[in-house]
Structure 1
Amino acid sequence: MQTTGCSHHIPSRNTSTDGSIGLVVTKTARELSYDWVDFERAAALVSEYRDTRHKPHNDYWFDDTAARIAVDFFPKYCRFTKGKWTGQPFVLAAWQALDIIIPAYGWKNPDGTRRYREVIIWVPRKNGKTELMSGVAHIHLSQDGEFVGEVYAIAKKGDQAKIVFDAAQRQVRFSPLLSAMVVNTAKSIYHASSMSRFMYLSGEPSGEHGKGPSCIIGDECHEWSSDRLYQFLAQGMGARAQPMTWLISTAGLPEGYGYELWESSKMIVDGVIDDPETLVVIYAADPKDDIYDIETWKKANPNFGISPTEKYALAEMRKAKRSVRMASDVKRYHLNIWAGEAERWLMISDWAENNTDPRIKNRWQNFEKDLLGQPCFGGLDLATTRDINALVWIFPPYGQRTKWAILPRFWMPRGSEKSLQDRVRLEKVRYDLWGASGAIALTDGNAADHDLIELAIHDDCEKFDVQALGFDAWEAHNISVRLSTAGVNMLKVIQGYITLSYPSKRFEAMVLERRFDHAGHPVLAWMAANTVIRTNPAGSIKPDKDKSRQKIDGIVASIMALALALNEQEEEETGTYVTSSNLVVL
C-alpha cells in the first residue's frame, strides 16, 4: 500500500465536533456515540494513527476529534447491506480507518476546514469499496454542515454510478438512526434538516448546468475515456466551504483518462507532483510480482482473508493459468496491475486438446462423413477482396457423439501463381500447401467468389440438417437474401459486444473444458493462435480483427455459429439471451 504523506500537528484545541465533521461545535463525542465500545475503538485507531502515520506539516493540524467522529460514524449509522454481514454495523477495518478515513477527515487547514479536497483510492475488487463509498456519501449528505448540499455519485454509465447510490439506499433501510435522518426517494436520498440530496449521474456533462456539488464520488475511473463530467461538476464546487471529491477504482486497460489519473496518482505518491490537498491511497502488486503467489494477493488486497478469501484467490489463480484473458483480468481487477489493451486469447496447447483422436493424421479431411444428416448451426464471415472467406458449421452433441463438432470451410482468391507465392513469402503462411491439401479452397481471380461459396452452402444444406446460418451483414447482405429466398434460415449477427461477448466466453470455456472436436483442421488452428480479443470496461469481450496478428475469420465464424446454437438452447430453457435487434431473422 502506498499513500501520500500527512501533516504537522498544531497543539490540540479544546473543541469537539458533532455530526458536522469539520465544524467546531459544543457537544461531546461520547454524547453522539451509540456504542461506547465502538467509540473507544475509534479513539484507539486515531491514537495508532498518531503513533505510526502522523507526519508533522507546518501548514496543517490534525483534529483528533473529527477523525474519531468520522470513524465512529460508520458503525453508528451504517450497516453492511450484502453477504453474511447484512444488517450488521459497519465497523471499519483498520486499513479503511488508518489509511483513508482518519487522514481524510482528521487533517485541517489553519481555519479549521479540511485539508484534503480530493481523495483518490486504487483498490482491487472484493475489498468493500462500494460499502465504504456509500458511507462516505452519507457523511457528506447529513454530517457535513452544508446547507442545500449536493452529493453526486458519477461513473461512465448510469448502472455503474447507481451501484454506490443503491448501496447507500440499502443502508438507510437497514439503519434506524440513518432512516430517522434521511429519506429514500426514487432518484435521490434527501436530508430534510439541511435540504441536501444525494443523486447519481453518468455520461457527458450536457444538461448538468447549475449544479453546485458539495461532494463528488467517482466510481471505476479506469473506465472513463475522459474526465469531462467530473471536471464540469468540480467547477461548480467553488461556492462550498470545504468541498470534497472521492475517486475510487481498480486498474484497467492502459488508455483514456483512467490511466492518466493512475499515472498522476503515482507521481503524487512519489513526490514528483506536489499536491498537498490530494490524498492518494494505492493498494497494488508490482507488475513483476508472481500473480500465482498468494503473497502477491495479500500485498494488493488490504481486506484479504475476509474478502477476497484465500479460497477465492486460489480459484481465480487456477482460471488464470488456463487462459491468457483471465490472467489479464486477475492482474487488472484483483491485483491492480494495468494490463494490455488487447490480449492473445487461446493457448495452442488447449486448442490442440480439442481433437478427439489426434493420432489420425489429417483426420479433418474425412470429418464431415461422420456428421452427415446431423443438426448444425453455421457462421459465415465473408470478404470481397483477397482476404479469406470462412464458413463454419458447429454440431451440438448428437447420438453417441458427446463433443461439439466444428467443421470449417475456407476460400481465398488465388490470383496469379506469382502473386500467391509472393503472399506465401511475405506473410510466411503456406497457403499453397493448404490449398493442395484441401484445407482452403484457392479460387480463380483476385476477388472473393461469393457465387462459389453460395453453391457450397446449398450443397452443405443437402448434407446436413442446417438449423440456421448466421452472417455479418457488412459483406454478406446480397448472398444472405438469396439464401433466405431459397429457404435457408439466415440470421444476422451484429458484431458488437452485446451479441458476441456471451458466446465468446462460452467458446473459450468450452475450449478449456475440451468440449469441442475440430479434428485438427490446420487453418482453424492457425486462426485460433492468431486471435486477439478486446475487452471493454464492463468485462465484455469479442474477437478483434484489427489487433490480431493474422487472419481470424474462422474463429469469428465459429463464435457466430455457437451464438445461434446457444441462443436456441436458451430459448428452449429460459428465453433468448439476445434481442431481435442483434439476431435478425430475414
Structure 2
Amino acid sequence: MWRQAEEDSYMDIDTWNEARIKPINIEGQRVWFGIDVGKSSDLYAISWLIPQDGYWYADSYAFVGTKYGLQNKIKADRLDYIRLQDMGQCEITKLESGVIDVERVYQWLDGFVKDHNLDVQAICYDPAQYGTLLTQIEKGHPEWEQISVRQGTLTLSMPTKQFRDDVLDKRVRHSGNEILTGAMANAILKSDNNGVRIDKNRYSNKIDAADALLDAYAICFRENIDDYVTDEDVFSDDFGF
C-alpha cells in the first residue's frame, strides 16, 4: 500500500511492518500519550506508548477536519477516513465548519483512559495551538502531568534516531494502525547543526500521528523496559525483592 521513493525517508516501511503485532490487552497499563494539534486541514493526532516486557507498544487515534471537504481530504491524504472511522482508528468532525472540536478530543481521551483503567504517566505535547486542550485537562485531570516538548532538533534528535533503531530491533511494536503507518511512510529526515528530526516533503503528506508518537517517545524512551514489572506482578504471591 505504501511506497517510498525518497532517499531521505525516515522509516523503512518493511521494517515498520515487520514490527506489527496483534493488539495487546492494555487494561490497567501505564501509558505515555503524545499529542499533535490540528484544526481544519491537518489531523489532530493522539498517539501513545505502553511499556511491555522488552518493548514499547505503540498505537494511535486521530480526529479529522473537513473544512475543505471530506472527499477532497481523503483524496489528498490517500487515506479513506470513512473506512478508518468504521474501524475505530479515527473520528471525523461533526461540526459544520469542518473544524476539529477540541472539547470532543478531550471527551474521547477522558473516556479512553477510563474505559481501559489506564495509568497516565504523561501527556507530551507540541505546544503549538495546544492551549485549549491543556486548559481542559488541567480542569478535568489535574493529576495528569502535561509536558511541553520543544519542537526542534536539539530536543528531538536523539529520540528520533533511537526510535528508528528500536523499531528495527523490535523494541517498538505496533498495532498496524493505518494512519500511523501512513505517517511513518510519509516522514522524511531533516537535519541541521543540532541533529535530526522528521518532516514531510509536501503539505498533503500527513505525519501528525508520527509527530505525536515521537513527542511521547522523547519523554519516555529512557524508561527501563527490560525489567518491566506490572502492578499485577508486584501484588502476586510470587513477587519478592
Q: TM-score range by the shorter chain?
A: 0.7 to 0.9
Q: CA deviation at 1:568?
A: 5.4
- Of 40, 56, 59, which aligns to 1:385? 40
**Could you list the per-position Cα deviations for residues 212-251 of structure 1 after superposition, in whole angstroms to 9, with x for gaps in the alignment?**
xxxxxxxxxxxxxxxxxxxxxxxxxxxxxxxxxxxxxxxx
Bigger radius of gyration, 1 or 2?
Answer: 1
SS of match in other structure, 1:474: coil
**Could you list the per-position Cα deviations for residues 433-485 of structure 1 after superposition, in whole angstroms to 9, with x for gaps in the alignment?**
22222222112121011111111222233231110011111111221133134
The correspondence of residues 281-320 of structure 1 with structure 2, limited to 5 A, is none
- Of 90, 99, 111, which aligns to 1:459? 111
1:507 maps onto 2:163 in alignment: yes
For 2:93, the equivalent position in structure 1 comes to 443
Q: CA deviation at 1:426?
A: 4.3
Q: Go from structure 1 to structure 2 and tell me whether the alpha carbon gap of 1:421 and 1:405 turns closer, same or farther (over 3 Å shift).
A: same
Q: Any conservation in 2 of the 1:386–1:448 contact (CA below 8 Å)?
A: no
- Of 124, 130, 151, which aligns to 1:470? 124
**Could you list the per-position Cα deviations for residues 383-427 of structure 1 after superposition, in whole angstroms to 9, with x for gaps in the alignment?**
122311111110112xxx4431112111102469xx222332344
Q: Percent identity?
A: 23
For 1:562, the equivalent position in structure 2 comes to 217
Look up the equivalent residue of 1:513 and give its one-letter code: D
The correspondence of residues 108-123 of structure 1 with structure 2, limited to 5 A, is none
**Could you list the per-position Cα deviations for residues 71-118 of structure 1 after superposition, in whole angstroms to 9, with x for gaps in the alignment?**
xxxxxxxxxxxxxxxxxxxxxxxxxxxxxxxxxxxxxxxxxxxxxxxx
Look up the equivalent residue of 2:10 and give its one-letter code: W
* 1: CA distance, partners of 2:121 / 2:77: 36
1:350 maps onto 2:15 in alignment: yes
Look up the equivalent residue of 1:383 and give its one-letter code: G
Q: Any conservation in 2 of the 1:415–1:444 contact (CA below 8 Å)?
A: no
Q: Go from structure 1 to structure 2 and tell me whether the alpha carbon gap of 1:549 and 1:423 turns closer, same or farther (over 3 Å shift).
A: closer
The correspondence of residues 412-561 of structure 1 with structure 2, limited to 5 A, is 412-414=64-66, 419-445=69-95, 446-462=98-114, 463-485=117-139, 486-487=141-142, 488-538=144-194, 540-545=195-200, 550-561=205-216
* 2: CA distance, partners of 1:404 / 1:568: 10
* 2: CA distance, partners of 1:521 / 1:427: 15
SS of match in other structure, 1:422: helix
The correspondence of residues 180-191 of structure 1 with structure 2, limited to 5 A, is none
Task: Name the Cα RMSD after superposition.
Answer: 2.3
TM-score (norm 1): 0.35
* 2: CA distance, partners of 1:470 / 1:504: 15
Q: Any conservation in 1 of the 2:37–2:129 contact (CA below 8 Å)?
A: yes
TM-score (norm 2): 0.80
- Of 59, 63, 77, which aligns to 1:411? 63
Higher helix share: 1
**Could you list the per-position Cα deviations for residues 298-324 of structure 1 after superposition, in whole angstroms to 9, with x for gaps in the alignment?**
xxxxxxxxxxxxxxxxxxxxxxxxxx9
Q: Go from structure 1 to structure 2 and tell me whether the alpha carbon gap of 1:448 and 1:546 turns closer, same or farther (over 3 Å shift).
A: farther
Higher strand share: 2
* 2: CA distance, partners of 1:461 / 1:429: 27
Q: Any conservation in 2 of the 1:412–1:442 contact (CA below 8 Å)?
A: yes
Look up the equivalent residue of 1:413 and give its one-letter code: G
- In structure 2, the gaps of 5 or more residues are 225-241
SS of match in other structure, 2:193: coil
